[in-house]
Amino acid sequence: MVETPVKFEQISPSEFFYRNRDIAGFSSPARSLYMSIRELVENSLDGAEAGRILPEILVELSQEKASDEEGGVNVFRLRVEDNGIGVPGDKIPLAFATVLYGSKYGYRQSRGTFGLGGTMALLYGQITTNKPATVISSTDGKTIHRYELMIDVVENKPRIISYQELKNPRGWRGTIVNFYLEADYTTSRPKILEYFRNTAIVNPHASITFVDSRGRLYHYPRVVEKVPEPPREAKPHPVGVDVETITRLIASASARSLAAFLQASFQKVGRKTALEVVEMAGLKPDMNVRKLTHEQVTALIDAFKRYGKFRPPDPSPLSPIGAEFLETGIRSLLKPDFIHVVSREPSSYGGHPVVVEAAIAYGGLIEPSETIHLYRFANKIPLLYDERADVSWKVVSEKIDWSNYKVPKIAPLAVFTSICSTKIPYKTVGKEAIADRPEIERELTIALRECARNLKAYLSRIEKREAREKRLGIYAKYLPKIAEFSAATAGLKKPPDVNSLLKKLGVTEEHIEAERAAEA
Amino acid sequence: MVETPVKFEQISPSEFFYRNRDIAGFSSPARSLYMSIRELVENSLDGAEAGRILPEILVELSQEKASDEEGGVNVFRLRVEDNGIGVPGDKIPLAFATVLYGSKYGYRQSRGTFGLGGTMALLYGQITTNKPATVISSTDGKTIHRYELMIDVVENKPRIISYQELKNPRGWRGTIVNFYLEADYTTSRPKILEYFRNTAIVNPHASITFVDSRGRLYHYPRVVEKVPEPPREAKPHPVGVDVETITRLIASASARSLAAFLQASFQKVGRKTALEVVEMAGLKPDMNVRKLTHEQVTALIDAFKRYGKFRPPDPSPLSPIGAEFLETGIRSLLKPDFIHVVSREPSSYGGHPVVVEAAIAYGGLIEPSETIHLYRFANKIPLLYDERADVSWKVVSEKIDWSNYKVPKIAPLAVFTSICSTKIPYKTVGKEAIADRPEIERELTIALRECARNLKAYLSRIEKREAREKRLGIYAKYLPKIAEFSAATAGLKKPPDVNSLLKKLGVTEEHIEAERAAEA
């Protein structure tokens, strides 16, 4: 008998994220502060949008304990208050102190994705300061629930330290999260301010106020008084649906025949499409869908992939930024000389609709640089870290040869990409870089090439205008001289009047003045 | 009563990774094939090392189904066989068909980290092909266990399709994993071959054979007949230990007094250190450790951070590559003109020991380039994706000004970094990029600066030699002429013999010849 020197062990999801907090972006005191603010603000924006409420968000950061010593701990208090729909009293402990418990798992666009962010922030706070978090919420404007919570990491369960029901005389509704964490504000401050600024750009209906630990107040006022249409839940699109999804759909289907099941469970599948797909899979439309074998399900998925005639997915679960709004935001931020925005039609990957928007801005306040300024957004969240790992960076740096579009090596060029989807394929749980799914890469490439073609036309016009200006300058300079010379040669006393000719050629007084000045 | 349009839901870890397979690196058919091979090969290497066995690994890839059509599915079969310690029969279903179940959670270096990789590969295969995986293993050389498995994603539980006990007449021991997956070998082939090559470089004791779907055989033979010392489990180091860890240590402690607890539960804490730390925390050495309040535990951790006099952590749980071996590997790969390797002393972050090794190679087969060739290793795994998101890239591109070290803009420069730790702070579950923990960043910077200083000395020597060669060339050219001229001026028939003077200056026959040739 050979001994096996290996222990096997099952760990809980909270244990997993506790041990691997780097993968959720909580890697240093600076980045963890940024992540905490981000996760809570995004929960607040989602919470307001879900109730069609104009978001009013207040973020307060204060320093609790400063360390003079090298390696000592700097403890901050972070408080985020919103006016969203709130979290029901009985759900608060699970929602804030359990990993992989959340409300963001539906088939529609939301900022949150993993059911993880808020809890990770609180978990990080608990690990670094050993203090409970306070969560206060009201959903009905009547009762206010107030919890002090810690997380039982081993069991992935909340530990309720205290609970109170409070009176709500002023009918307040919303959520307040208040907790302590080890943080480094000095280092993360630029990123945090950039995060607020860019979030405000793509969420003009939100009013965001940030009071920092130095007592400074940053206010990003509401610019638009209209709540964006909240994304609706929808059925999955057949393209790219996998075995697991289809097995679940079959399990919960009320339709019995295969054809009826396809029509009822997927978007963009009518009677005709259903029959064609079934035939392509070598199956029969009236087969009992619950009795499909493994091989038949596999054949069905293969037919989905090969069919090629589905209409694009329903974009109603999405709420993209919108070309008009993107343009307004960019203009106010960068005051560019040129801007072109492209909104692609909805496409899909893995059964999820995707809308890609892109823009190129040139000149104005954009700093000329060898590196392109890339602004990335995903479901209206600005992405600020891990730029080089993102699909947008790949497209901008590898898929587009900027010299083909007359862009000089050092240029005042800014590129904006926005990806909205019911499911953003993030590479990291920290939601900073998007994976290069071929469908998304393709959409981005098409959108940015269209922008680049327009930029090229603009740069060509500039080039032509400059060439024309140069040519007119030459006319302005030499025509009078030629006239004088010809007159002298012909023995005329007065040279012919070239002004009408110059005017005809488009030479203005300014050109003539400029040339005279250059001469002198 | 206001309705709450939000559903709350708890999901299992397998459901989480099923929905977010991009974060584990399974983002495209190409990358998923690469990831599957990688995860299984690393399990095999760990499985052999745990038993002090010289690894013998056979990887077979065959194409099961080719699609002629656009968008059709290419199905491959992947089979990985090793001669490791095997997985006990009753543990096989959980180990291969449950997420977050594994043997890699101990406090020692291992390639696997997340208890996730092997199961993710099988999960990906199941999602894309709907076929069960086969796992065959023997731990004792007597009984062979053979399972067909699928994963119940919703429940995070194995589904056993079939089980057999097989005879083992030849005393085979090891593990075979065989499964089907949608894959793209054409695109991933270069990365896969690079992975095998680099793995072989840092695991010279392994024999690895890869037979690909085109029928090609790649064999990476064993170069060293010695099993590396397997890393041992150790106690945590006090620096950077967090509240959660210390709470668990207290819960499982047998010592009752605080001072005794510190000595028994941490490495590098003797009686004297324990007393000093306790005093720094404002506590008493004979306090009952189980009765410490939250605030006292926090004070203790703060004292750990401020103490500053701990000896570096015990490196015995680590098994770094070793300077000598790294040098041999690099020489055989790149045949550089210059190489310098630095092995840093063990340091720590978050209670985990870290050993950083780094090397710079210059010239030889290294392609001159504006971009530095960076080879990254973590716990003897080559990292091939997401280079720009890695701490090594940050150090190489931001922390070191190569022009200070006389490195020209376009240079044949290769940089190697190896990080070994009981816990590598990966940014992604796909284990491709390491987070920029300040302690690791610092170690890398120091190691690479030391390499760079040596490179500078080498490049200076080259520069000096070139300047000297040039100077000697000038002597060789002009001294004879000056002699002739002086002789002629002085009316001498024969110029004085300058050869002895030239020789004294270090000018050789070659210099003279070269100058004559240049003249002609």
For residue A3, the model assigns a pLDDT of 39
Q: Does A370 touch chain B (CB under 8 A)?
A: no
Residue B520 has pLDDT above 70, yes or no: no
Positive/negative CA dihedral, A383, A440, B32, A301: positive
Q: Looking at CA atoms only, how far is residue B444 from chain A in angstroms?
A: 17
**DSSP calls for A316-377:** TT-----HHHHHHHHHHHH--SEEEEEEPPPEEETTEEEEEEEEEEESTTPPPBSS-EEEEE
CB contact under 8 A, B127 and A243: yes
**Per-residue pLDDT tens over the stretch A78-136:** 999 999 999 999 989 988 888 777 665 455 666 655 567 788 899 999 988 889 999 99
CB contact under 8 A, B127 and A386: no
Beta carbons within 10 angstroms of residue A486's beta carbon: 12
Rounded distance between C-alpha atoms, residue A207 and residue A289, angstroms: 50
Rounded distance between C-alpha atoms, residue B159 and residue B156, angstroms: 10
- Mean pLDDT, rounded, for B157-176: 94
Q: B85 and B151 in contact (C-beta within 8 Å)?
A: no
Residue B219 has pLDDT above 50, yes or no: yes
| Domain A323-455 listed as CATH 3.30.230.10 | yes
Q: Does B480 touch chain A (CB under 8 A)?
A: no
Q: Does A174 touch chain B (CB under 8 A)?
A: no
CB contact under 8 A, B130 and A243: yes
- Mean pLDDT, rounded, for B157-175: 93
Q: Looking at CA atoms only, how far is residue A209 from chain B in angstroms?
A: 26
CB contact under 8 A, B294 and A131: yes
B131 CB neighbours in chain A (<8 A) are 294
CB pairs under 8 A between A and B: 214
Look up residue B122 and give its DSSP letter. Answer: H
Q: Looking at CA atoms only, how far is residue A227 from chain B in angstroms?
A: 16
A7 CB neighbours in chain B (<8 A) are 103, 106
Rounded distance between C-alpha atoms, residue A499 and residue A509, angstroms: 9
Of residues A365 and B504, more confidently modeled: A365
| ipTM given for this complex | 0.71
Provide the mean pLDDT of chain A.
86
Residue B8 has pLDDT above 80, yes or no: no
Nearest CA in chain A to B14: A13
CB contact under 8 A, A130 and B425: no
Tokens 């109170």 belong to which residue? A164
- Tell me how far CA of residue B457 lies from CA of B371, B404, B407, B451, B452, in angstroms: 22, 12, 11, 10, 9
Q: Does B280 touch chain A (CB under 8 A)?
A: no
Asked whether the domain spanning A323-455 has the same topology as the one spanning A13-220, the reply is: no
Counting Cβ atoms within 10 Å, is residue B464 exposed (0-12), middle (13-18) or buried (19+)?
Answer: exposed
**Per-residue pLDDT tens over the stretch B9-49:** 677 778 888 877 777 788 788 999 999 999 999 999 988 98
Mapping DSSP to helix (H, G, I), strand (E, B) and coil, where does residue A168 land?
A: coil
Amino acid in the structure at residue A371: T
For residue B404, the model assigns a pLDDT of 93
Q: Looking at CA atoms only, how far is residue B386 from chain A in angstroms?
A: 6
Q: Does A8 touch chain B (CB under 8 A)?
A: yes
Q: B166 and B211 in contact (C-beta within 8 Å)?
A: no
For residue A316, the model assigns a pLDDT of 81
**Per-residue pLDDT tens over the stretch A8-60:** 667 777 888 887 777 778 878 898 999 999 999 999 998 898 888 999 999 99
| Domain B323-457 listed as CATH 3.30.230.10 | yes
Q: Does A10 touch chain B (CB under 8 A)?
A: yes
Query: Which of A1, A15, A20, A297 to mutate to test binding with chain B, by most B CBs within 10 Å of its CB?
Result: A20
Q: What is the dihedral of CA B273, B279, B284, B290, to 10 degrees?
A: -70
For residue B330, the model assigns a pLDDT of 86
Q: Looking at CA atoms only, how far is residue B39 from chain A in angstroms?
A: 17
CB contact under 8 A, A302 and B10: no
In the structure encoding, which two tokens stand for residue B503, read together?
């020789």
Q: Does B139 touch chain A (CB under 8 A)?
A: yes
CB contact under 8 A, B72 and A306: yes
What percentage of residues in chain A have a pLDDT greater than 90? 45
Lowest mean pLDDT among A233-242, A316-325, B248-257: A233-242
Q: Does B1 touch chain A (CB under 8 A)?
A: yes
CB contact under 8 A, A436 and B20: no
Considering CB atoms only, which of B153, B242, B437 is closest to A128?
A: B242
A429 CB neighbours in chain B (<8 A) are 20, 23, 429
Q: What share of chain A is helix, strand, coil (3-state, %, to 5)?
A: 40, 20, 40
CB contact under 8 A, B23 and A85: no
Q: Where are the beta strands (DSSP E) in A363-489?
A: 373-378, 381-383, 413-421
B130 CB neighbours in chain A (<8 A) are 243, 294-295, 297-298, 301
In the structure encoding, which two tokens stand for residue A203, read together?
């969420």
CB contact under 8 A, A94 and B51: no
CB contact under 8 A, A94 and B20: no
Amino acid in the structure at residue A320: P
Q: Which residues contact A33 (CB under 8 A, 6 or more apart)?
A: A61, A76, A78, A181, A183, A184, A185, A188, A192
Q: Does A152 touch chain B (CB under 8 A)?
A: no
CB contact under 8 A, A23 and B130: no
Lowest mean pLDDT among A81-90, B187-196, B342-351: B342-351
Mapping DSSP to helix (H, G, I), strand (E, B) and coil, where does residue B210 land?
A: strand
Q: A208 and A57 in contact (C-beta within 8 Å)?
A: yes
Q: B418 and A462 in contact (C-beta within 8 Å)?
A: no
Closest alpha carbon to B362 in B388, B391, B330, B328: B330
Q: What share of chain B is helix, strand, coil (3-state, %, to 5)?
A: 40, 20, 40
Residue B172 has pLDDT above 80, yes or no: yes
**Per-residue pLDDT tens over the stretch A244-284:** 888 888 888 887 899 999 999 898 899 999 999 999 999 99
Query: Considering just the CA atoms, what is the radius of gyration of chain B in Å?
Result: 30
Q: Does A297 touch chain B (CB under 8 A)?
A: yes
Write the secondary structure of B334-369 as one string of H (helix), E (strand) and C (coil): HCCCEEEEEECCCEEECCEEEEEEEEEEECCCCCCE
Q: Does A227 touch chain B (CB under 8 A)?
A: no
Residues listed for chain B: 520
For residue A138, the model assigns a pLDDT of 95
- Mean pLDDT, rounded, for A313-328: 84
Q: Looking at CA atoms only, how far is residue B343 from chain A in angstroms?
A: 25
**Per-residue pLDDT tens over the stretch B58-99:** 999 999 877 665 556 789 999 999 999 999 999 899 888 887
Regarding the domain delimited by B13-220, which CATH topology (the fold level of the hierarchy) does it fall under? Answer: Heat Shock Protein 90 (3.30.565)
Residues 347-366 on A with a CB inside 8 Å of B are none
Rounded distance between C-alpha atoms, residue A376 and residue B445, angstroms: 30
| Domain B243-307 listed as CATH 3.30.110.40 | no
A244 CB neighbours in chain B (<8 A) are 18, 126-127, 153
Q: Looking at CA atoms only, how far is residue B495 from chain A in angstroms?
A: 60
CB contact under 8 A, A126 and B244: yes
For residue A393, the model assigns a pLDDT of 94
CB contact under 8 A, B427 and A386: yes
CB contact under 8 A, A10 and B94: yes
For residue A2, the model assigns a pLDDT of 37
Nearest CA in chain B to A89: B4
B83 CB neighbours in chain A (<8 A) are none
CB contact under 8 A, A13 and B100: yes
For residue B112, the model assigns a pLDDT of 59
For residue A4, the model assigns a pLDDT of 40
The residue extents of the domains of chain B are 13-220, 243-307, 323-457, 460-519
Residue A351 has pLDDT above 90, yes or no: no
Q: Does B11 touch chain A (CB under 8 A)?
A: yes
Q: Does A115 touch chain B (CB under 8 A)?
A: yes
